[in-house]
């Protein structure tokens, strides 16, 4: 991973769409089954929409039936960071880009093997770089 990116609120608002800003900087969530990558089968690398950091490979994407793109592991162990999220009256593990800190989604322990994890990610937090 390269050096961390820090921007002001105004810089983020200028570089992201309103929906991206709400999700990525204010920890929002897009509506299920509405994201452009939910049903995407295109091969490539999913990168952070905020900074371009490589996050997930299409090889680890699976149909979780939840309405959000899901992956069973990040592209490498340093691509994302995790924090405890106690919003909405529940305890979850939030995942965000380790380079720019953008909110991506959450990780749950109900995914397929080999990891048993489900990284449930907002499409607006991602860009796909096709192989």
For residue 2, being part of any structural domain is answered with: no
For residue 3, being part of any structural domain is answered with: no
CATH code at 81? 2.170.150.20
How far are the Cα atoms of 24, 96, 98, 111 from residue 5, in angstroms, in the given order? 14, 13, 9, 30
Is it the case that residue 87 has pLDDT exceeding 90? no
Residue 86's pLDDT is what?
86
For residue 122, being part of any structural domain is answered with: yes
Report the Cα–Cα distance between both ends of the chain, in Å, rounded. 21
Residue 88's pLDDT is what?
76
Q: In the chain, what is the greatest distance between 2 CA atoms, to the nearest angstrom?
A: 41
120 an active-site residue? yes
Residue 2's pLDDT is what?
63
Q: Where are the alpha helices (DSSP H) in the chain?
A: 9-15, 18-24
Check 48, 97, 100, 120 and give the catalytic one: 120
């Amino acid at each position: 991973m390269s050096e961390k990116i820090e921007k002001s609120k105004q810089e983020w608002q200028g570089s992201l769409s309103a929906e991206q800003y709400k999700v990525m900087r204010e920890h929002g969530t897009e509506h299920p089954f509405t994201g452009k990558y939910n049903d995407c089968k295109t091969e490539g690398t999913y990168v952070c929409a905020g900074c371009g950091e490589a996050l997930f490979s299409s090889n680890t994407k699976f149909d979780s039936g939840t309405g959000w793109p899901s992956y069973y592991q990040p592209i490498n162990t340093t691509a994302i960071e995790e924090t405890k999220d106690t919003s909405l009256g529940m305890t979850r593990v939030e995942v965000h880009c380790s380079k720019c800190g953008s909110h991506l989604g959450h990780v749950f322990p109900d995914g397929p093997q080999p990891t048993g994890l489900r990284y449930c990610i907002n499409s607006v937090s991602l860009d796909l770089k096709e192989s």
